């Protein structure tokens, strides 16, 4: 048994402390230690994007981050995207546009798309496609996902206008 390390972090706005082995990924810590199973494992080598979370507003694949690296960081997972009982515009537009089928990639897409809209409120189709190129979806062919992100961007701009 490896000695566990104490990690202090903030997850979805709440201070959070956990003990993990040095070899455990942030993905494992979120899922197995903290019960935040909304973040998914698709490949465990950074190529599918299903485990995408925000780390100090940076998009990371949490399977390639060690749990111990989260020390002192602000982590946002899919569980932290909705505002209380109100869905985030991206979550609403994914539903309205039928932008998910099996749904396993959806948390990663929504987290990644949120990071995009936070820094580029009015992205073009090409910008959305480039930004989301690290998130694989095998069900939808991406068409409805691109539409959903565009629609959410428009709605968020209307609200902010």
Partner 1 sequence: MKTQEYTVVGTRPIRHDGVDKVTGRALYGADFQMAGLLYGHILRSPHAHARIRRIDTSKAEQLPGVKAVVTAGDFPEVPERMVDLGEGDTPLSYARGNVLAKGKVLYKGHAIAAVAATSVHVAEEAAGLIEVDYEVLPCVLTAPEAMQDGAAILHDDLKTKEFGEQTGRVSNVAEHFRYAMGDIEAGFAQAEVMVEREFNTATVHQGYIEPHNATALWNNDGRILVWCSTQGSFSVRDVTACLLDVPVSRVRVTPMEIGGGFGGKIPVYLEPVAALLSKKTGKPVKIVMSRKDVFEGSGPTPGSHMKVKIGARKDGRITAAQAYLAYEAGAYPGAMVAPGAMCVFAAYDIANVVIDGFDVVVNKPSTAAYRAPGATNAAFAAESVVDEIAEKLGIDPLDFRLKNAAKEGTRRADGPKYRRIGCVEVIEAMKNHPHYTAPLGGPHRGRGVAIGFWFNVGLPSSCTISVSADGTVNLVEGSTDIGGTRTSIAMQAAEVLGIPAEDVHPTVVDTDSVGFTAVTGGSRTTFATGWAAYEAAQDVVRQMKERAAKIWETEAASVALDRGVFQSGDKRMTFQELAAKLDQTGGPVVGRGAVNPRGVGGSFSGCIADVEVDPETGKVTILRFTSVQDAGKAIHPSYVEGQMQGGSVQGIGWALNEEYFMNDAGSMTNSSLLDYRMPTALDLPMIDTVIVEVPNPGHPFGARGVGEANIVPPPGAIANAIYRAAGVRMNRLPMNPPAIMQAIWSQRD
User: Under the rule (CB under 8 A), what is the footprint of partner 1?
Assistant: 1, 21, 23, 31, 35-45, 47-48, 50, 77-79, 81-82, 87, 91, 94-98, 100-107, 110, 125, 128-130, 132-146
Smallest gap from Cβ 132 to partner 1, in A, equals 5
Q: Give the H or E element holding residue 52.
A: strand 52-55
Gap between the Cα atoms of 51 and 71, Å rounded: 19
CB-CB neighbours of 87 under 10 Å: 14
Q: Are 2 and 22 in contact (CB under 8 A)?
A: yes
Nearer to partner 1, 22 or 121 (CB): 22
Nearer to partner 1, 70 or 148 (CB): 148
User: What is the separation, in whole angstroms, between the first and last Cα of the chain?
Assistant: 56
Nearer to partner 1, 153 or 161 (CB): 153
Coil, strand or helix: which one is 99? coil
Smallest gap from Cβ 159 to partner 1, in A, equals 19
Nearer to partner 1, 69 or 142 (CB): 142
Smallest gap from Cβ 76 to partner 1, in A, equals 12
How many Å is the Cα radius of gyration of the chain?
16
Smallest gap from Cβ 72 to partner 1, in A, equals 24
Residue with tokens 């068409």: 143
CB-CB neighbours of 103 under 10 Å: 11
Smallest gap from Cβ 128 to partner 1, in A, equals 7
Nearer to partner 1, 16 or 39 (CB): 39
């Amino acid at each position: 048994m490896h000695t566990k390390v104490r990690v202090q972090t903030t997850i979805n706005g709440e201070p959070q402390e956990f003990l993990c082995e040095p070899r455990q990924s942030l993905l494992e810590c979120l899922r197995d230690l903290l019960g935040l199973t909304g973040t998914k494992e698709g490949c465990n080598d950074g190529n599918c994007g299903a485990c995408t979370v925000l780390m100090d507003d940076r998009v990371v694949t949490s399977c390639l981050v060690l749990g111990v690296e989260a020390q002192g960081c602000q982590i946002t997972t899919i569980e932290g995207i909705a505002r209380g009982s109100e869905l985030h515009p991206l979550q609403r537009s994914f539903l309205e546009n039928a932008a998910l089928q099996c749904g396993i990639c959806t948390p990663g897409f929504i987290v990644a798309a949120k990071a995009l809209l936070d820094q580029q409120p009015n992205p073009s189709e090409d910008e959305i496609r480039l930004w989301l190129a690290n998130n694989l979806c095998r069900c939808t062919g991406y068409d409805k996902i691109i539409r959903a992100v565009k629609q959410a961007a428009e709605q968020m701009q209307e609200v902010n206008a």
